[in-house]
Amino acid sequence: HYIPATVGQILARGEFYTAYTPYQPEVAQGTLQVIYEFQSMVAALFGMDVANASMYDGATALAEGAHIALTASRGRKRVVVSGTVHPRYREVVTTYLSGQQVDLVELPIPTEGFTTHLDDLSPLLDDELACVVLQYPNFFGGIEEIAAIADAVHAAGGLLVVACYPVPLGLLQPPGALGADVVAAEGQALGVAQSYGGPYVGLLATHQRFVRQLPGRLVGITTDSTGQRGYVLTLQTREQHIRREKATSNICTNQGLMATAATVYMATLGPEGLREVANRSMHNAHYLADQLCMLPGIELALSSPFFHEFVVTLPEPAARVNARLLEAGMIGGFDLGLVDPSLGNHMLLCCTELNDRQGIDQLVHLLSHG
C-alpha cells in the first residue's frame, strides 16, 4: 500500500525515534499522547472499546487474544482455530498454547470454497469451549460469516477471537459490530515500510470488561496536581514487573515506532482516505478476477465474497505458472501448494490501490499465452 511522505518525516524526528515504551511520563508526554491516539484509532477502527499500545506483530497479537479468551472463560480449555486462518498465525497460536493443558483444535482447510462452515464448528460448541479463532477477510481472501458464527459461539458460552486485515475496514463492517470479543491484526499495511520481511506492529483490541486481561502497555489520561491533563501508563498491575508469574503476558513493551507510523498514516488519510484505499484495492482485485476467469481453465475458487485477495484454480501447477511469469519479468501469486500439497493448482492473488490497469492487463496477457 501507498505510504504518505508524512509518515517517514515524522518518524525521523528525534522526539519519536525510539522503538521503546517510555517509562518516565513526565518527560515523554508527546510519545504517550501519540500512543493514546493510536489506541483510540485502533479501537474505533475495530469497533471495540479499548486497544493496547501494540504488540510485536499480528501473529503475536492473535495468540495473546486467544490467551485473553482462555483467562476470561474461567476454566474452559478448548480453543478452536479455523483452517482459514493464516498458517503462520496458527503456528504461533499453537506455540503459545503448548504446555498450558489447552485442548487446541485446528480445523482442516475447507478446500471447497475456502470459508469456515458453521456445520464444522457445531460439534465443538459446548461447555468446554473457550473461544473460536477466525480471520476476516481470511487467509484465502474470503469474507467469513462472522455474525452468524459469533451468535453460535456466544450461545455456547464461548468467545470469538478475530484476526483481521485493517485496510478493508474502510469499507467492511468492523469485527466488533459483528460480534467479535477480541480483535487482533497485523498493522504493517498502515504505513509501515517493509525491509527484508519486517518490521511489523501487532494491533489488539477488546471489550471494556476484558481490559484487565489485556496484555502489554496501556496509555491513559489523568490530571496532575494542578489539574492539567497528563498521559500515563495505566493498569500496570496486570504486568510482569509487578505480578511476575501471574501477569497477563510476558510482553511488557510495545512496537512504539511502528505504532507511531500507523498513527500518522491513519491521521493523514482519515476515514475518507482509508475508504478510498479500500475501494480502489477492492475494485482492482475484482477486475483482475473477472479478467482471469475469462481465460480457459482458470476459475474463481472462493464461495464467498472477497475484498482484495482471492484464490483461482489453474489448469497446471501454480509453481510452473510462477516460473514462467518470473521469466517474463513478473512476480506471480502465492502458490497454495506450499500450504497444502493438494492445492498445487491453486494460486492466491492480491491487488492494492497501487496496481494499475496496465499492470493487471499485462498479467492477464501473460497467463493467456502460457
CATH no. for residue 285? 3.90.1150.10
Give the span between the Cα atoms of 296 and 311, in whole angstroms. Answer: 16
CATH number, domain at 35? 3.40.640.10
The count of structural domains within the chain is 2
Find out whether 51 and 42 touch, Cβ atoms under 8 Å: yes
Domain C-terminal end among 239, 265, 291: 265
Minimal CA–CA distance to 276: which of 137, 171, 355, 360?
A: 171
User: What pLDDT sits at residue 194?
Assistant: 87
Domain carrying residue 169: 5-265
Q: State whether 158 and 235 are in the same domain.
A: yes
Q: State whether 245 and 301 are in the same domain.
A: no
Q: State whether 258 and 339 are in the same domain.
A: no
User: What pLDDT sits at residue 197?
Assistant: 80
Distances (CA, A) of 323 to 309, 320, 327, 333: 21, 5, 6, 11
Q: State whether 339 and 195 are in the same domain.
A: no
Q: Is residue 271 part of a domain?
A: no
Q: State whether 123 and 252 are in the same domain.
A: yes
User: What pLDDT sits at residue 19?
Assistant: 65
User: What pLDDT sits at residue 217?
Assistant: 87
Domain C-terminal end among 208, 242, 265: 265
Query: Within 10 Å of residue 236's Cβ, how many Cβ atoms?
Result: 13
Q: State whether 90 and 206 are in the same domain.
A: yes
Q: State whether 255 and 289 are in the same domain.
A: no
Question: Does pTM surpass 0.85?
Answer: yes
Q: Is residue 311 part of a domain?
A: yes
User: What pLDDT sits at residue 46?
Assistant: 99
Q: Is residue 270 part of a domain?
A: no
Residues of the chain with pLDDT under 70: 19, 236-248, 250, 252, 370
